Amino acid sequence: MSAPEIPPTHRDLLDASVATLATVGADGTPQLTEVWFLVEDGTIGISLNTTRQKTKNLRANPACTFFVLDLANPARYLEIRATAEITPDAGRRFATKVGAKYDTDLSVHDAPGDERVVVRIVPRRVNAVDMSA
């Protein structure tokens, strides 16, 4: 079974620096935040601190949407409806890779004892939109 493809017209959006991650809270309301991400072997991964509400939301309900807006032309965007696969980030290896991409140390955002997980975005449906086309 293959994942839905991102069309060539919108693949550049995976080079964006940030994306919007939408999860669903316990009360059924979407929660949207901007996140850093890393694409490895065609898979989108996000490093999340387990104390964050979005991580709690994903653990309770892994349905999520990864959304990238073209900042230069916000009529163009990529919406990936997905299931989150959450795994422990053993030795913080993934957080270190994400930090290297952004030239920072993700642990500055963590309190002592905080843990991180790797969230893989497993696409179920891809909508590539360009209202300006």
Determine if 124 is a binding residue for a second copy (CB under 8 A).
yes
Measured distance CA(129)–CA(133) in Å, rounded: 9
Structure tokens at 47: 């490093």
Q: Which stretch binds a second copy (CB under 8 A): 6-14, 90-98, 111-119, 124-132?
A: 124-132
DSSP code for 6: P
Q: Which stretch binds a second copy (CB under 8 A): 29-37, 41-49, 88-96, 110-118?
A: 29-37
- Nearer to a second copy by Cβ, of 1 and 131: the residue is 131
Measured distance CA(77)–CA(36) in Å, rounded: 17
Structure tokens at 36: 């850093």
Minimum CB distance to a second copy, residue 27 (Å): 7
> Given strand 38-40, what is the order of strands in its sheet?
30-35, 19-24, 63-69, 76-88, 116-130, 43-49, 38-40
- Nearer to a second copy by Cβ, of 1 and 90: the residue is 1
- Nearer to a second copy by Cβ, of 90 and 131: the residue is 131
Structure tokens at 58: 């994903």
CB 32 within 8 A of CB 69: no
Determine if 101 is a binding residue for a second copy (CB under 8 A).
no
Site for a second copy in 36-65 (CB under 8 A): 61, 63-65
Residues that bind a second copy (CB under 8 A): 17-18, 20, 22-25, 27-34, 61, 63-65, 67, 69, 71-72, 74-75, 77, 79, 81-82, 124, 129, 131
